[in-house]
Chains A and B, each alone.
Chain A
Amino acid sequence: MGFLNNVFNTIKGYGNEANDAFVDTQGIRIMEQEIREAEAHQRKANESLTDVMAEQKGIARKVNDLKASVQEYAEAIGKLLDAGNETLAMETAEKLAELETNLDSNQAILDSYNEQVKELKAIIKDSAKQMAALRREVSIIKSTEAAQQASAATAAQFSGSNSSLRSASASMARIKAKQQKRKDKMKSARELAKEATGGDLNDKLAAAGVIGNQSSASSILDRYKKTN
């Protein structure tokens, strides 16, 4: 089952039932149990891997020794045949046959150990992934639960003082009025500050063309023209 599907099934509160538990605690218990099982599974796989790898190393050593012996006896047979010692060559060949059978069976065991190591490593990797996913789910569900409990606590506060949850549109209207009042107050304060510094009168005089806002090259030139 997908992550969100699990969460959806575990979280209640999608309906109106105010008295329902917010989160299906049984669901969380199941997930926590799954985490514990995955942990146990991983621990077991780790132990098995250690054992199998120890065996694998032992058999690999044996296979290498046998290979060396097979090589050695094969070379000896060649030398004995060259020297015309067929009887000893036959005896050596019998020994070589025994060694080769032994090598084949040990090689088969080694192959099976190699396969087991590969499988155990895959199991360990999968359980780690599964545990991480489950831990993430439990964490998300618990934080959603905390948020739901927080909402419910506030809703209870409101329903304690009023007949039901406060009306959103009435609250919005009140806040807007309050914010407007605050803006107006700030505007008035700015205007008052401007008046106190004479800025307001200067603005009016400038608008009426009685005073200039700033000295400019043309106003200076005008001043000179008038005096001359």
Chain B
Amino acid sequence: MNNSLDKVQAALADYITEDGNRFSVTETKNDTFTMLTIIRDDIEEFAILATASDSQLLFNVALFDKAQIIAGQSPALHTMMLELNMAMPLSSFALTGANYSIFGAMSTESDASQIQEEILVLSENIMDALEVCQHFLIKA
């Protein structure tokens, strides 16, 4: 399982996007799971969390929690998320516990360039996803 995460770390080590962005990767291990925290240098506040099972790699970005949704707007937000799921390249919306996120999943057999593309597209989807969701969120 960790071999797959090692592959992610290796793929991002010297990777620089066309816009000059880099990704920093930190590994966290405990008794039950291992994860990578991947941070794109211009979107530091939304970390991509990578975990792996025997067959797939999951990349998840927590966007906001239920408490940030304007009262009564959850159903409309959910409908919008479902409608946009298909249009969002390589990523999908998800709800885990009280946290809304976008995630991408790929086979552990994926190679370095596929991993780089997945992470790049997911990181680019973060701001786009927040942009459409902000209409349903309490303003800071």
- A: residues with CB less than 8 A from B are 13-18, 22, 136, 139-140, 142-155, 164-176, 178-179, 182
Contacts and interface: CB of A to CB of B under 8 A. Distances in A.
Query: Which secondary structure characterizes the binding site on chain B?
Result: mixed
Given A168-B137, A175-B45, A175-B127, A146 B35 contact: yes
B68 A165 contact: yes
Nearest to B130: A172
B3 interface: no
Interface string B23-52: 000001000110101000011111101111
B45 A169 contact: no
B62 A155 contact: yes
A143 B32 CA distance: 12
B96 A168 contact: no
B53 A143 contact: yes
Interface of B: 28, 32-33, 35, 37, 42-47, 49-56, 58, 60, 62-68, 95-99, 101, 103, 127, 130-131, 133-134, 137-140
A153 to B, nearest CB: 7
Contacts of B137: 167-169
A146 B53 contact: yes
Contacts of A169: 68, 130, 134, 137-140
Given A13-B97, A151-B49, A169-B140, A143 B68 contact: no
Contact of A148 (B28, B96, B130): B96
B45 A166 contact: yes
A168 B63 contact: yes
B33 A149 contact: yes
